[in-house]
Structure 1
Amino acid sequence: MSLKKITLISAALLFSSFQASAHNVWIEKADGAEYVVRFGHNPTEKYPENKLKPVQAVMQDGKTESISTTFKDGEAYFAMPENASIILLGYDNGVWSKLKNGRTVEKNKIEVPDAEFSKNPIKFSKNIVKWDSNATKTFNTPYELVPMTKPVAGQEFEIKALKDGQPLEGMKIAKSEEDPGVLTNKDGLAKFKAEKGANKVYAEYKLDTPDNKEYGFQQLEYVLSFDAE
């Protein structure tokens, strides 16, 4: 077996170990005209306001604008701009370390040097609210999932994973947090079968950071949401 295949298999096994602690961010329609930024999985969880990055809207003209949010009851709420095509989210969950006794604490490896590992969980989300030419474009985010074509219910289509604008190999693409999914190829591509109505694509990736003094790796979770007919 080639080293490349071993590496990809190891990545898949590692992703399965993340599922118990996986948390994501995405948007949902709230009461009235408001939308809410959700965090967690099922059930959702409250979160500190300072961990959520500014909410961004990609407008129909392709320009990106910051959206004003109101934080209440542990969640961020906002009004959807009339001409928004996409809502972009970012969330930095800080640094977490697993202790030898099995507990996980929000401390870095300087504070707990004997921890089994220390990680920085980061979350990103692209929520396509209106399908237009922006849906297949990139928007200069650290990580990104880009549909190559407009999804059709019941059919597979390709998604490209990017890191800093470059194709990313070995990112897991799945239909749920529990789904083993598939890994993107050397061109950053993977296929996903769309379903009728609302869809969520879940992605995971681990980036080792050997030179970082506070944590040993970043754990990325990403959600791409869209509707298909």
Structure 2
Amino acid sequence: MFAKSRQRVLAAFIACCASSASAHTVWLESVDKSTTDYQVLFGGHAGKLEPYRPEKLKQIDAVDRQGKTLAVSRDVTADGVRLHVDGAPVLISMHFDNGIHTRPPTGRSVEKPMNEVPGATRATYAVKYHKTVVDWSPLVTQIIGQPFEVVPLSAKQPAAGEPFRIRVLQDGKPVAGVKLGHGEEGTASDPVTDADGVAAFVPKPGFNRLWAGKRIAVDDNPKYTELSYEYSFGFDAR
């Protein structure tokens, strides 16, 4: 399922690397069309995969149709992190902490708090969240309590080319002005959530990754000046 070029990129993930704080989301792809085995992927600009440190995966949860929590095991391999879900999942969710990235007076960003970089005045704390819908059911429309969360408004599997409505929540409350996009980031023409946190997303045929993101200015924090939330919502369109 995975191209050789993808595997070469993922094989490098064990090495530490500093990456840009923007437009890097985490998501799952099924291994050989399995509903229980998945590869964790981390993306960047222009559709490229990037390496990452497995300890940044802070949370992985899976639930079945009855809402029962299923055991999830992870395996760090040469081509990345693989997950195995014990049971029949309906929904899998993840939290990925990409750390604080500080821009020094000259040069590229470094993965350190701002107060550890002499002369720095800007830093971004990058936090990522994800859901994969394995099987559409009423459960997938429930709020699971992520600090930044995408929630579909219908339990019916989306159809390619037809608007699919979602709500974006921050700390459990609808948030306006959040851009949606395909893949890794939005464009100027993409939909934006309204006052109720709702926007319509038009899926493409096959597997989709709905992107949502928001940046929040932070005052009086010695470690960072901005909080970056990014979300990846993965599902198959019929």
TM-score, normalising length: structure 1 = 0.84
**Counterpart secondary structure, 2:67:** coil
Partner deviation per Cα, 1:59-114 (whole Å, 9 max, x = no partner): 21123345111112362211234321011011101111112214111111111252
Partner deviation per Cα, 1:34-65 (whole Å, 9 max, x = no partner): 31111123321221121111311022112334
> Which amino acid is the alignment partner of residue 77 of structure 2?
K
- Judged with a 3 Å threshold, the aligned counterparts in structure 2 of structure 1 residues 30 and 143 are, in CA distance, closer, same or farther, namely same
Please provide the CA RMSD for this pair: 2.1
Q: Among 223, 226, 229, which residue is 2:232 paired with?
A: 223
- Judged with a 3 Å threshold, the aligned counterparts in structure 2 of structure 1 residues 32 and 131 are, in CA distance, closer, same or farther, namely closer
**Counterpart secondary structure, 1:50:** helix
After the TM superposition, which of the residue ranges 170-179 and 125-134 deviates more from structure 2?
170-179
Q: Percent identity?
A: 35
> Which amino acid is the alignment partner of residue 199 of structure 2?
A
- Report the Cα distance in structure 2 between the residues aligned to 1:160 and 1:31, rounded to whole angstroms: 31
Structure 1 unaligned regions, length at least 5: 1-18
- Judged with a 3 Å threshold, the aligned counterparts in structure 2 of structure 1 residues 178 and 139 are, in CA distance, closer, same or farther, namely closer
After the TM superposition, which of the residue ranges 107-116 and 90-99 deviates more from structure 2?
107-116
- Judged with a 3 Å threshold, the aligned counterparts in structure 2 of structure 1 residues 125 and 179 are, in CA distance, closer, same or farther, namely same
Does residue 64 in structure 1 map to residue 69 in structure 2?
yes
Instruction: Provide the aligned length of Structure 1 versus Structure 2.
Output: 211
Structure 2 unaligned regions, length at least 5: 1-19
Does residue 49 in structure 1 map to residue 54 in structure 2?
yes
> 1:1-229, aligned counterparts within 5 Å?
21-30=22-31, 34-41=37-44, 42-73=47-78, 75-149=80-154, 150=156, 151-176=158-183, 177=185, 179-180=187-188, 181-229=190-238
- Report the Cα distance in structure 2 between the residues aligned to 1:213 and 1:27, rounded to whole angstroms: 34
- Report the Cα distance in structure 2 between the residues aligned to 1:111 and 1:203, rounded to whole angstroms: 30
- Report the Cα distance in structure 1 between the residues aligned to 2:122 and 2:51, rounded to whole angstroms: 25
After the TM superposition, which of the residue ranges 76-85 and 159-168 deviates more from structure 2?
76-85
**Counterpart secondary structure, 2:106:** coil
TM-score, normalising length: structure 2 = 0.81
> Which amino acid is the alignment partner of residue 188 of structure 1?
G
